[in-house]
Amino acid sequence: MKIPKVLRIFIHLMLGLCLIAFLTLSALDAMAQTARPPMPGQQAPFTGAQTTNPPATTAPRPQMPVPDSVVEQAKDQNEGNFGPLVRPITAGQIQEVWDYAKPEDGVYEPDMCANCTYRIRTRERMPTLIELPLGERILGIDRGIKAGWLIQQREHNRIVVQPKGFGYDTSLIVRGESGQVYPFYLRAEGVNSQNIPDLFVKINGTVQIDDEMAVPVSAHTDTNLVQNKYEKNTSKVPNMDLPASDKGKDAIDGLVNTNPGTPDEDYVAEAKFDPNALRGWGQYKLYGDKELEPVTVFRDDYFTYIRFGDKWKDLELPTAYVVVDEFDELVNTRVQGQTFIVESTQKLITLKSGFKYMCIEFVGGA
C-alpha cells in the first residue's frame, strides 16, 4: 500500500520532535548530576536518598578564596611576630601641679562633726586613704555607684578609694560601731586637673565603743603596748600596779612644795591641793605609742597628774583631750615641776603629739 506523501511528511515531523525531546531531557538530567556545590550558608538541594559516605568518585567542593591579609598575618605569626598591643595608659599624663606642691599638700585633716559631709577630691589612677577617728570600727559601707570606683576596707578604721576614670562623682556612707555616721562626697578628677588630690584623709577625733576605747594599731603604734578589747591582748598593758605607798611618796615629793592647785589668776574657782586626796595608782590602763608612755598616773578630786620619769627632758609635751558627748574636746594642761597636770578627771584622756597618741583610761572607782 502506498502511503500518501502528506502522511509521510507528518510522520517524519513527529519522529523529529520526539528525538529533539529525548535529547533535551538527557541534557537536563546530565546537568542535574553535575550541579554546582551550594554556597556557604546554603543547604544542598534534596535529590532523593542521602548517603552518609559519598562515593569516592565524588568531586570535592571548591573552597572559597583566602584573603591576602589572612595569608600575610599567618606568615608573620608563624615567625613569632604578633604585632604591637596598644594599651590605654600613654605618656604625657603627669600632673604638673605637684611640681609646686608643699610637703603638707595632699593631706586633709577635718575635725569630726555630727552634721557635716566630708568632701574629698580624688584623681584617676591614684588611691586615697581615709582614716576614721581614733577608736572607731567600721560597721558597714554604702556607696553611691559601684561602676568606676574601687572602694575597699583596710584595717578596722581605714578605707581605700580609687577612681577608675575621671569627670564623675558619687557618695560614700560609712557606719561606725560607735553609732557615728560618716558621709563622704567623692569627686574624680583627671591628670590635667589644676587641683592637688587628697591622698590621705584623717578625721580628727575620738569615739568610744561600749564605754571602752578601741585603739587602732597604726604604723606609729608600738603593738607591745596596745591593749585592745578586740584583740584580747591584756598581758601587754604597761605595769601600773606598783605599791601605792612608793608612788604616793614620789608624787607628794614632787607636788607639795610647788602647790599644783589652781593658779590665782585663773578665772575658775580655786582648787586647793590636798596630798591626802591623791589616789588612782594602778587604776589606769594605757593604749598607744611608747614615746608618750608615762611612768605613773594618779588623780585627786580635780586634776589628773601624769609623770614621765627620765624621758621628761626629751619629751615634746603633748596636748590633752577628753571625750565629751562622744567628741574630743581640748582640755587645759600645765606643768608643775616635773608633773604634767591635766585639768580634768574624765574617765578617758587622750594625749596627742604629732601622729603619736596615748590614751589614759581610769578603770578604778570614784
Q: 66-98 as b/e, with b when 16 or more CB fall inside 10 Å?
A: eeeeeeeeeeeeeeeeeeeeeeeeeeeeebeee
Please count the other Cβ atoms lying within 10 Å of the Cβ belonging to residue 44. 10
In the predicted model, what is the mean pLDDT of residues 116-145? 91
So what's the pLDDT on residue 92? 74
Q: pLDDT tens for residues 207-261?
A: 877 544 444 433 333 333 333 333 333 333 343 433 343 445 555 555 655 555 5
- pLDDT tens digit string along 67-100? 888 888 888 888 888 877 656 666 777 888 888 8
| pLDDT at residue 2 tops 80 | no
Q: What percentage of the chain has pLDDT greater than the value 90?
A: 18
Per-residue pLDDT, 229: 35
Q: Are 199 and 107 in contact (CB under 8 A)?
A: yes
The sign of the CA dihedral 143, 147, 149, 154 is positive
pLDDT at 222: 39
Domains contained in the chain, CATH given: 107-202 (2.60.40.1550), 284-362 (2.60.40.2500)
Query: Residue 123: pLDDT above 70?
Result: yes
Model pLDDT, residue 251: 55
Lowest mean pLDDT among 23-32, 233-242, 339-348: 233-242
Residues 110-119 have pLDDT tens digits of 998 888 899 9
- Residue 194 confidence (pLDDT) above 80: yes
- The percent of the chain in helix, strand and coil, each rounded to the nearest 5, is 20, 30, 50
